[in-house]
Chains A and B, each alone.
Chain A
């Protein structure tokens, strides 16, 4: 009886597995979707070969949708609005798409395949996104676990962006990955230097991309990236500015400050930067130089756990405590935060308690 049952279960499982494999093979070999038309924002038309995921198909047309996971459906960034032609939602999309987004036909472009004519809506600024070939001009240690990488552009030779935006670095095949992966990093350099892009990259334990940057990347290497992306940029107002960052969250804030210095934007600005001890602090001299160039700018580094040999006389404590001590009122103030979700959430609460409206708190969460 039991053996008969096991044979039946085995037979059903075997047939199911066979059919599933057959469907995958058929989809890859027999299914020919031919040429299909993708219409974007109602006025741009592209004739493409059907059968591939939308994200990759758009990339072949040099339209780059932000994606931090390289199309594996694990970052949820590559959302586009598909007005027609996408079919039913897939189980792999649903964790990322809210009910409101479903009502607006927002889809995860890495998960849906182009099988017939489609009509999409994507932000116009994404048409400014390009793929760049570059050379690694310089790699230097900023701290024991953060490296600064300077890329010199080859083709196209120049990039147009605003300070605070990010790019996606293409990590080539190497020991830890047998296919290229893309990861998003904020730009640290001043966008007025259109021939170079500088990144600050902190080593993530077991991270495929950061391990490559820290242990394999060397000066003279060819590299590919695409961008720019993002809406983390300085708003043109007269409000006082609070910047808060930690670790590699320094990058977009530095880019904004360099641009402010060059343009002579002399709004009152305070930059709270959190680190554990002196060995985690970096670019202090550059920030002090910016203090001289921008008379209304103040750099306030804070150590949460300074070591005895640091002989630290500056601010101590968690960055949230330091911000709370320094800020009297959030009136006429806007804030720019970059760091881990935990740090940002904690800082938003402090800023809110001080009276900075949530809609004037801009942030770039790593998470």
Chain B
């Protein structure tokens, strides 16, 4: 698919120094539309959706907040730490205001694997299907999110056990 002028502008916003020091694209030289399409295909292959992935990220983050900045056990087999640094970042797609610089670290104790994501990752994935460009410091691989956060392909509900 050809890149629209709107996506071209968004891609400009993602360049280093426009909204953040490093931008959102890393070393990826592809058009934004190609990045989005490739990740869309990967998410479909994994049998899930951007929304389901983002919802699970939100659910774990919200449960992790109860740890008040330290790791806390989240059933069934996660440890989650949520902390923040000063400031906020606007979305390169425009709206919804400034997104806080909140980091969620999720450890899957069953797999012995860990993933770190930010609130802007959640926004970009849930609203725009954007996982950042290859080589970006904050790039998240869809298959890693699905594996570590245990996003079940056949069920889209993301409610965690209480």
Contacts and interface: CB of A to CB of B under 8 A. Distances in A.
A176 interface: yes
Given A73-B19, A75-B86, 14 more contacts: A68-B87, A72-B19, A72-B21, A74-B89, A75-B87, A304-B67, A304-B70, A305-B72, A320-B68, A340-B69, A341-B84, A342-B65, A365-B86, A367-B100
A280 B5 CA distance: 50
A340 B81 CA distance: 11
Contacts, number: 113
Interface residues of B, number: 36
Contact of B70 (A95, A246, A341): A246
Interface centre among B67, B71, B98, by most chain A C-beta atoms within 10 angstroms, is B67
Contacts of A318: 66-68
B138 A204 contact: no
26 contacts: A68-B87, A69-B86, A75-B86, A75-B88, A76-B87, A77-B86, A95-B98, A176-B22, A184-B86, A204-B85, A206-B116, A208-B21, A246-B68, A246-B70, A274-B70, A276-B72, A305-B72, A320-B68, A340-B68, A342-B69, A342-B84, A343-B69, A365-B86, A366-B84, A366-B85, A367-B84
Nearest to A69: B87
Contact of B67 (A68, A69, A184, A276): A276
B42 interface: no
A366 B86 contact: yes
Interface in A190-224: 204-208
B40 interface: no
B87 A276 contact: no
Contacts of B128: none
A208 B87 CA distance: 14
Interface centre among A207, A280, A342, by most chain B C-beta atoms within 10 angstroms, is A342
Interface of B: 2, 5, 8, 17, 19-22, 65-73, 82-90, 97-98, 100-103, 105, 116, 137-138
Contact of B116 (A68, A76, A205, A339): A205
Contacts of B69: 246-247, 274, 339-340, 342-343
Interface centre among A95, A176, A365, by most chain B C-beta atoms within 10 angstroms, is A95
A164 B116 CA distance: 31
A366 B21 contact: no
Contacts of A76: 87-88, 98
